[in-house]
């Protein structure tokens, strides 16, 4: 597979170089040159295919020649070696539980996959690779855990002071070894800006080999497709594919789902659930994309004012607003609505939501209220 830069002024490259470098030399995000199609029979038989085999099938074309098959199988198996159950909340709403991984984050799959790929790519390298990552919450924990002890890799994590939970801060700061966490006075966007600046700083680039582990990195972004395939595997009503509602911040996860859909995965409709940070909700309503300052909310991992993967979503739909808007809706859910949703689901269904899952639940509920014949899945995270 070749990757091109969405800024279109850098040479194409392979999975290996895209992973090692993170961003293209022209500062664009890498994007696959074509989207592999998966045959219909695969989806008809999916219930009889193991999770490992599904994940391997999905990712292999994107990795191409960069990793030999037996090595890639090992990496894939280790990335999804925990349960990802689909649980019914009521007749219409299902929860995909993404908190059974080692750091309880829905970033575990991407982070584990990327760390193992990078470790494979740099094992014979002279000198270290420094992974620089900004986190609004649990990216950092998942990345730190994925990279802990990996040879030839040092990890530097920037996190906004006072804006991550106590547990998350411990996950970042308590590991030591090759994991270095820096507390930044500012928001997640400030952290992300510092990361972006570091990548274009020539002096820094001459001194150290920097790469990123945010979802701008293809090795973190692409394996998030696994969730959508594993959700579909567990979906009983195959004749009536699910609406999928994803709590969105940087839009890497939902963008991976939309990619999976274009590959052939049956999905009725996507919903981007947002908190008060609603640039994409506004964009879908008006056609204008206006980046905003980050607003601090109780679903902090989604506090992103200018989502980096939005440009990939546009690329998936070839900048055709009409077909994009046909496939995705978005709702902005306030903190009060989030709290009400937690209370409602706990009282009615005896199921405890986290704030991010609650935003997604509420957005799905809003959509289903005007589409009563459809059923949907929302992405559920841990209680931090
Ligand atoms: C990262 C994260 C999100 C947002 O995911 P994106 O891929 O950045 O859109 C939502 N909820 C939780 C709990 C997260 O960790």
3 state DSSP class of 32: strand
Token pair belonging to 81: 């070696």
Q: Which of 96, 257, 302, 379 to mutate to test the pocket of ligand 1 (most atoms within 8 A of CB)?
A: 302
Distance (Å) from CA 139 to ligand 1 centroid: 8
Distance (Å) from CA 149 to ligand 1 centroid: 25
The DSSP code for 239 is: T
3 state DSSP class of 135: coil
Q: pTM of the full predicted structure?
A: 0.93
Distance (Å) from CA 36 to ligand 1 centroid: 25
C-alpha distance across the termini of the chain, in Å:
38
Q: How far apart are CA 4 and CA 14, in angstroms?
A: 9
Q: Is 39 exposed, middle or buried (0-12, 13-18, 19+ CB in 10 A)?
A: exposed
Catalogue the E-assigned strands of 256-312. Answer: 269-274
Distance (Å) from CA 249 to ligand 1 centroid: 5
Q: Is 182 exposed, middle or buried (0-12, 13-18, 19+ CB in 10 A)?
A: middle
Distance (Å) from CA 271 to ligand 1 centroid: 14
Q: Is a pLDDT exceeding 90 seen at residue 344?
A: yes
Q: What is the pLDDT of residue 157?
A: 94
Q: Is 370 exposed, middle or buried (0-12, 13-18, 19+ CB in 10 A)?
A: exposed
The DSSP code for 62 is: H
Q: Is a pLDDT exceeding 80 seen at residue 46?
A: yes
Q: What is the pLDDT of residue 259?
A: 98
Q: What is the pLDDT of residue 384?
A: 59
Distance (Å) from CA 369 to ligand 1 centroid: 25
* Beta-strand pair 86-88/93-97: antiparallel
- The β-bridge partners of 88 are 94
* Nearest CA, atom 8, ligand 1: 250
Distance (Å) from CA 197 to ligand 1 centroid: 22
Residues 374, 268: contact at Cβ < 8 Å? yes
Residues 13, 30: contact at Cβ < 8 Å? yes
Rg (CA), the chain: 19
Q: What is the pLDDT of residue 300?
A: 86
Name every protein residue with a CB atom under 6 angstroms from any ligand 1 atom. 105-107, 137-139, 215, 247-253, 301-302, 356, 381
Q: Is a pLDDT exceeding 80 seen at residue 234?
A: yes
* Nearest CA, atom 14, ligand 1: 301
3 state DSSP class of 270: strand
Q: How confident is the model at residue 142 (pLDDT cuts 50, 70, 90)?
A: confident
Q: Which ligand 1 atom lies nearest to the CA of residue 382?
A: 13
Q: How far apart are CA 279 and CA 364, in angstroms?
A: 18
Residues 150, 144: contact at Cβ < 8 Å? no
Mean pLDDT of 344-357: 96
The DSSP code for 241 is: P
Token pair belonging to 109: 């799959």
Q: Is a pLDDT exceeding 80 seen at residue 310?
A: yes
Residues 305, 189: contact at Cβ < 8 Å? yes
Element (H, E) at 138: helix 138-147
The DSSP code for 354 is: P
List all residues 6 or more positions away from 282 whose beta carbon is below 8 Å from its beta carbon: 288, 290
Q: Which ligand 1 atom lies nearest to the CA of residue 256?
A: 7
Q: How confident is the model at residue 35 (pLDDT cuts 50, 70, 90)?
A: very high
């Amino acid at each position: 597979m070749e990757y091109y830069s969405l800024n279109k002024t850098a040479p194409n490259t392979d999975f290996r170089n895209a992973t090692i470098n993170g961003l293209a030399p022209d500062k664009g995000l890498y994007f696959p040159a074509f989207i592999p199609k998966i045959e219909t029979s695969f989806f008809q038989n999916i219930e009889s295919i193991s999770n490992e085999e599904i994940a391997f099938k999905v990712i292999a074309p994107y990795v191409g020649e960069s990793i030999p098959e037996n090595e890639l199988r090992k990496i894939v198996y280790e990335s999804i070696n925990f349960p990802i159950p689909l649980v019914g909340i009521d007749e219409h709403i299902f929860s995909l539980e993404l908190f059974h991984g080692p750091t309880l984050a829905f970033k575990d799959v991407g982070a584990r996959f990327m760390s193992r790929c990078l470790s494979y790519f740099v094992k014979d390298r002279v000198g270290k690779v420094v992974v620089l990552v900004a986190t609004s919450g649990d990216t950092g924990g998942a990345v730190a855990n994925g990279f802990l002890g990996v040879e030839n890799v040092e990890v530097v994590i920037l996190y906004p002071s006072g804006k991550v939970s106590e547990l998350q801060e411990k996950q970042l700061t308590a590991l030591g070894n090759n994991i270095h966490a820096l507390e930044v006075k500012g928001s997640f966007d400030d952290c992300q800006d510092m990361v972006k600046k570091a990548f274009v700083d020539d002096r820094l680039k001459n001194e150290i080999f920097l790469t990123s582990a945010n979802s701008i990195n293809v090795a973190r972004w692409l394996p998030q497709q696994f969730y959508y395939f594993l959700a579909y595997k567990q979906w009983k009503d195959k004749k009536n594919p699910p609406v999928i509602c994803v709590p969105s911040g940087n839009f890497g996860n939902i963008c991976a789902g939309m990619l999976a859909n274009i590959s052939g995965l049956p999905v009725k409709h996507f919903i981007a659930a947002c908190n008060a940070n609603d640039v994409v909700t506004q964009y879908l309503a008006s056609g204008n994309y206006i980046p905003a300052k980050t607003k601090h909310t109780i679903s902090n991992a989604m506090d992103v004012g200018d989502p980096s993967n939005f440009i990939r979503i546009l690329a998936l739909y070839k900048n055709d607003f009409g077909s994009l808007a046909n496939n995705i809706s978005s709702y902005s859910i306030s903190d009060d609505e989030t709290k009400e949703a937690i209370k409602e689901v706990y009282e009615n269904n005896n199921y405890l939501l986290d704030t991010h899952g609650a935003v997604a639940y509420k957005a799905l509920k809003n959509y289903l209220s005007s589409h009563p014949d459809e059923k949907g899945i929302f992405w559920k995270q841990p209680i931090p």
